[in-house]
Amino acid sequence: MHEVAQPLKGLRVVEFTHMVMGPTCGMVLADLGAEVIKLEPVEGDHSRRLLGAGIGFFPMFNRNKKSIAIDLRQPEGAALARKLCAGADVVAENFKPGTMEKYGLDYASLAKVHPKLIYATCKGFLPGPYDHRTALDEVVQMMGGLAYMTGRPGDPLRAGTSVNDIMGGLFAAIGVLGALIQRGITGRGMEVQSALYENNVFLVGQHMLQYAITGKPAAPMPARDNPWAVYDVFTVAQGEQIFLAAVSDAQWLKFCDALGFADLRNEPGYATNNQRVEQRPRLLAALRERLADRNAAELSAIMEKAGLPFAPIRRPEELYADEHLLATGGLADVTLPDGPRAGETVKTTLLPFTLAGERLGVRLDPPRLGSHTRELLASAGYSDDQIDDLQNRAIVR
């Protein structure tokens, strides 16, 4: 495999994570070249066993990592984990408050003997009145205004992906990168804290400022006062759907010319954007009627040729055939470690940026549980006999 830039090569990360938020933080660091050690319980990260909407969690967010399985509930296991952390540059975790303290794996305990350590903690809430609550992406979307903004009035709706979990992990990784630069200056580490709720509030900050500036509450997206008349989803031939837009007077003229709507182009009441917005219900009704028998592929070609905004409405599975993703290397092979299709190769998505013109690829498949236990213990100075003994006593797997 062609090796691309790895700016974090040589950095060692130990992560105690599960589900999405913590693993995303570790995945970003791993994709950037760090050696990321996923320290799992001996029964494994429970997201390995999820079904339904959770079945993609583990293979999506745990590539480029090594797995070691340790029973932290046994004193020898916790001591072994602390030893691994003592040789790490970064430790990341996303368990409920108090969990890491039980095993002497919290930042305060580890930093006493390892002051250069950078410690990323991914939680539901930053320290404060809510930090004792159990958070989920749904929880913070509901209480943080995002579900209100996404759904129709009176029908709050969570976003269709784990936006806060994923972005919370991204912000934790960004904090780690900043802390690494600071450590290079001062020689000391620090704790980085990221949280779902605060991430969600950041996402809706534009709507908060809209209210602060105008004094008018932001309407949910499906009911908002649209600043453009042609900016909507249209149902066309055979029930297909396509988003079409014309967000300036120049684009409106192009739109009418491209689609052959000379009468609409010449209608005085549609001359300016604000006039079209005032007539939006009537204009959209006319457009829906005229577009109902048009083919989505044909409309896409027309809009693309005219340089106008458009987007056919697609499902996630359809992206596997997306010509742009295929041409630009946006998808990469991974071998599934668990589940009914364990051992099979599927495509996954990569981080959405390039370094030196290259996408950051998959160096290591999502690991099988404990697949690197022996390698990592050996590198920590344990003999084969000692490793066998630890495995026989179920301290490691």
List pLDDT tens digits, range 82-92: 999 999 999 99
Which pLDDT value is given to residue 4?
A: 78
pLDDT in tens, 28-49: 999 999 999 999 999 999 999 9
- Which residues in the chain are classed under CATH 3.40.50.10540? 12-204+329-392
Q: Alpha-carbon distance 194 to 125, whole Å?
A: 8
| Over residues 320-342, mean pLDDT | 97
| Over residues 232-247, mean pLDDT | 98
pLDDT in tens, 101-118: 999 999 999 999 999 999
Is the predicted pLDDT of residue 2 greater than 80, yes or no? no
Cβ atoms 333, 361 nearer than 8 A: no
Q: Alpha-carbon distance 246 to 233, whole Å?
A: 12
The structure tokens listed for 74 are: 């046994």
Mean of the per-residue pLDDT values of the chain = 97
For residue 3, name the pLDDT band (cuts at 50, 70, 90): low
Which pLDDT value is given to residue 225?
A: 84
| Over residues 287-298, mean pLDDT | 97
For residue 240, name the pLDDT band (cuts at 50, 70, 90): very high
> CATH topology for 12-204+329-392?
Rossmann fold (3.40.50)
Is the predicted pLDDT of residue 1 greater than 50, yes or no? no
- Which residues in the chain are classed under CATH 3.30.1540.10? 226-316
| CATH number listed for the domain at residues 226-316 | 3.30.1540.10
SS (H, E, C) 19-78: CCHHHHHHHHHHHCCCEEEEEECCCCCHHHHCCHHHCCHHHHHCCCEEEEEECCCCHHHH
